[in-house]
Amino acid sequence: MVELRSASRAIEVIGVPLDLGQQRRGVDMGPSALRVAGLAGKLEALGLTVRDRGNVPVPGAEMMDRGDAKARFLVQIARCDKTVAQWVDAALARQATPVVLGGDHSLAAGSIAGVASHFRAQQKAIGLIWIDAHTDINTPDTSASGNVHGMPLAALLGLGPAALSDLLDWSPKVSAAQTVLVGIRDIDAIERDNVRRTGVTVFTMRDIDEKGLRTVMERAIEIASSGTAGYHVSMDMDWVDPEEAPGVGTPVPGGATYREAHLAMEILADHGGMLGLDIVEVNPILDEHNRTAELAVQLICSAFGKKIL
């Protein structure tokens, strides 16, 4: 395994109140919920320098044409993701680690494009650790819903849709050989073919049950680190069991426990190879007293080195 840099002690928070990738309203308030839960102050208490860049502009769904039913609002999402990519690239250029707050998971096509573009300019590849209940490797041809939040990983791997795959005029943004999915437990039937075709490494919840989370995370880090500048982590809060994180749009029973979720982040912090972090799909309308946002903030702190002792 190559030696990786430690995560920067400077963090730039980027809000992306994007709700166009799915059909349950409220996820656009996710960045605000995370801020209300005290994200900046809790990171600063760890000795980090935090700068909040505010929110990327996102138009309201009611004011726009939905476009093709196979990929609703694709044009608008791609436009937003291009801006996200530019903000993320700029944060890295300032020697800061970008922490991107969602918003739905379609924003990851932009955040990861930004990280990949920054290191591509240095002739380096990046790895990707995708922590989620879902694989998000649908395309417009395989998606039963037409929800673009189920397509960002397909786009990053170069499968399309082209409006997202070709962001910043190059593709793919990540290699399947250095992409790892963790926590998977809900895959569309047709989507399985896409997953197998890409060759990404997938650790399902069964793998976590059988092998243990430490073994899974250490293997994920090894794969994502091999031959790369480091790895981006994109975490959908629905990877956590809905008993602990009820405020998500697509809850699936049988997810990570509270301690498993923290352990995953703690292992990432111990390794020190994280280049950027997404926290997505926090929906305050569906939440209970901001529990999910508060847990998300705690997990971000664990990812940046907060320890029990």
Which tokens in the block code for residue 217? 């995370």
* Residue of 12, 28, 132, 241 marked active site: 132
* Residue of 28, 104, 281, 294 marked active site: 281
Q: E strands, the chain, where?
A: 10-16, 49-55, 97-102, 127-131, 179-184, 201-204, 231-236, 274-280
* Residue of 134, 232, 262, 271 marked active site: 134
Alpha-carbon distances of 14 from 62, 85, 101, 164, rounded to whole Å: 24, 11, 6, 19
* Residue of 89, 104, 191, 236 marked active site: 236
Orientation angle between helical segments 291-303 and 258-271, nearest 10 degrees: 30
Buried b (16+ CB within 10 A) or exposed e, 64-77: eeebeebbbbbebb
> Residue 134 catalytic?
yes
* Residue of 12, 28, 136, 241 marked active site: 136
> Residue 287 catalytic?
no
Which tokens in the block code for residue 173? 């943004």
* Residue of 89, 104, 118, 149 marked active site: 149
User: Quick one: which of 130, 106, 52, 116 has its CA closest to 86?
Assistant: 116
* Residue of 28, 81, 104, 105 marked active site: 105
> Residue 132 catalytic?
yes
> Residue 65 catalytic?
no
> Residue 281 catalytic?
yes
Find tokens 């955040």 and name the residue.
111
* Residue of 28, 238, 260, 278 marked active site: 238
Which tokens in the block code for residue 52? 């909040």
> Residue 236 catalytic?
yes
**What is the Cα Rg of the chain in Å?**
17
> Residue 105 catalytic?
yes
> Residue 149 catalytic?
yes
Alpha-carbon gap, residue 92 to 180, rounded angstroms: 22
Supply the residues annotated as catalytic. Answer: 105, 132, 134, 136, 149, 236, 238, 281
